[in-house]
Structure 1
Amino acid sequence: MKNIVVTLFAVAALTACKKNEPTSSSQSTESTTMSPPAESGMTASDSTKMGESKVPTTSLNDQDKKFADAAAKGGLMEVMMGDLAATNAENAAVKSLGAMMVTDHTKANDELKKWASGTGYTLPAGLDAEKQKMYDDLKAKKGKDFDKKYTDLMVSDHKEDIEEFKKEAAEGKESSLKSFASKTLPTLEHHLKESEKAKNAVK
């Protein structure tokens, strides 16, 4: 009789244990439901994109900063004066020179702005006092006086520009800015020749 009771007890105990054991199917279901949700809906590519913030890859030396500032202000003045020449000049060669300055320097200015945006550098947004005075003095002139003053300015200004751009190409540190200077030099040299021709035409 004791043996039968013990046996029944053992069977009952085994049955109870088995009920508490999760089946393999419930385990797999549980593991599926417990998988961690995607974090805030971000994918791996999203996190990669976030890492691509604009950070200057190289620091600029004093030469780079001085050149970039001067090129920005000088380029802006060339466009403003070119607009004046295209409108106010009496001589056709001077009008043509002004239009060329607007086209070429607008393009160069845009390239410089693109460089600044990529490196996080802030360029001057306007003329300095010296260049503003030069512009105002030119704006006040009319006819042949305007033509002579404008061509004189273009000759002297482009001689200075060429020297500055050559210096940056040789002594600058930031490679893309040096490249901009080298690439723009032939255009400035062409501008100087055309300015000298226009100057001779208004003598």
Structure 2
Amino acid sequence: MVSADTLSDSSFVAQIAQSGLAEVVLGNLALKNSSDTSVRRFAGKMIHDHSNTNRELKAISGQLNLKVPSTLGPEKESIAEELRTRAGLEFDIAYANAMVDSHSKALVILDQRVGKLGNEKLKTFAEKTSKLISEHLEHARDLQRTVR
């Protein structure tokens, strides 16, 4: 029988992994489609930070025999598809908006779920990642204000 903690941990891993993977994919799109220095700098930071976080989550999940998604789900793929159709300032604005939205949603998941996680390593990961995502959200809001 699967425990509620295992289900909670598994669901958390899937949601946060999808979010982290999307940040890398969208960051790569920004490097490709934006000529704005601040957007490109932010995208590079997202790729770096979320790649590291994704690796850490994958390592913890492997120890717990929890599956980590390796592709974007429908919601995240839809965002990527929308961004692929944009260029220039239109891309930059859409990317900044997507970053505020995605980091806001990730922060809610992290903060709401941390107390419900069954594994201490996942709890520690969630607490540490929540701080990083909070910083990213503030930078995304700054970016959103500057790319108008």
TM-score range, shorter chain: over 0.9
Corresponding letter in the other structure for 2:7: D
Partner of 2:23: 78
1:82-120 CA-to-partner distances (Å, cap 9, x unmatched) read 111122113211111100000000000000000111111
Please, which runs of 5 or more residues in structure 1 have no aligned partner? 1-57
How far the C-alpha of 1:63 sits from its partner, in A, is 2.3
Q: Structure 2: how far apart are the matches of 1:192 and 1:71?
A: 15
Partner of 1:21: none
How far the C-alpha of 1:197 sits from its partner, in A, is 0.8
Q: 1:119 to 1:61 in 2, by over 3 A?
A: closer
Q: Which has the higher contact order (CA 8 A, sep 6+)?
A: 2
Q: Structure 2: how far apart are the matches of 1:75 and 1:91?
A: 23
Q: Is the CA contact 1:59–1:174 (under 8 Å) kept in the aligned structure 2?
A: no
Partner of 1:18: none
Partner of 1:180: 125
Counting aligned pairs with the same residue, the percent is 27
Q: How does 1:126-137 map to 2 (within 5 A)?
A: 126-137=71-82
Q: How does 1:111-190 map to 2 (within 5 A)?
A: 111-190=56-135
Give the superposed CA RMSD.
Answer: 1.4
Deviates more, 1:101-110 or 1:158-167: 158-167
The structure number with the bigger radius of gyration is 1
- Greater percentage in helix: 2
Corresponding letter in the other structure for 2:69: P
Q: Structure 1: how far apart are the matches of 2:66 and 2:9?
A: 11
Corresponding letter in the other structure for 1:165: L
Corresponding letter in the other structure for 2:88: G
Q: How many aligned positions are there?
A: 146
Q: TM-score, normalised by structure 1?
A: 0.69
